[in-house]
Amino acid sequence: MAKRKKSKGISTLSLILVLVMIVGAALAFTGLFLDWTTSTTNVIVGSLESNSTLQDWADLNESMNKLDSEVKYFVMTNLFAMISAAAVAAAAVLFILKLVIRLKLLGIIGGVAGIIGLVCGILAIVFTVLMGNEYSAGNETLGNAVAPAIGCYLLMAGGILGGGAAIGAAVKS
């Protein structure tokens, strides 16, 4: 009896990891456009809450630059958020190409993109907290408290999910 050759098909684990990377990229890109921070302002009557997106922070930073000032840590927050979303998306694309072309180098590059996406996702929320604390400290007369909102958490979750899946796929191959 002849031995059966092992199939060179796509494994179920590879498909699941690529699916998780795609979900992570979708979460990360969705987080970029949702409310990034929540501000709570204490007033005499009670407290007011307002939400700000990354674009709102960019507009505030631009208006403060005209006054020779800036929102501290905004540039780092924005940079890490954009890099995280792009890296997770790049990892997903690279692993899809790796499944089709079967080139091991694409898996290694995808794993590096996954590491970048994971680390930058975590750094984005760290710098968001630092930015909020710095902005709150500058406006202590109003009693402002700035905290991360749903967009920041979605980006972090997407970076961790997609980056972790990319690292797992790179280690698997």
Amino acid 4: pLDDT: 65
Q: Give per-residue pLDDT as tens, 119-149.
A: 999 999 999 999 888 877 655 555 577 889 9
Average pLDDT value for residue range 11-19: 92
Count the neighbouring beta carbons within 10 Å of the beta carbon of residue 168. Answer: 17
Containing H/E element for 38? strand 37-42
Amino acid 39: pLDDT: 83
Q: Give per-residue pLDDT as tens, 23-60.
A: 999 999 999 999 988 887 766 676 677 888 888 888 88
Q: Which residue has the higher pLDDT, 67 or 138?
A: 67
Q: Which residue has the higher pLDDT, 154 or 4?
A: 154
CA distance 123 to 81: 8
Cβ–Cβ < 8 Å for 88, 25: yes
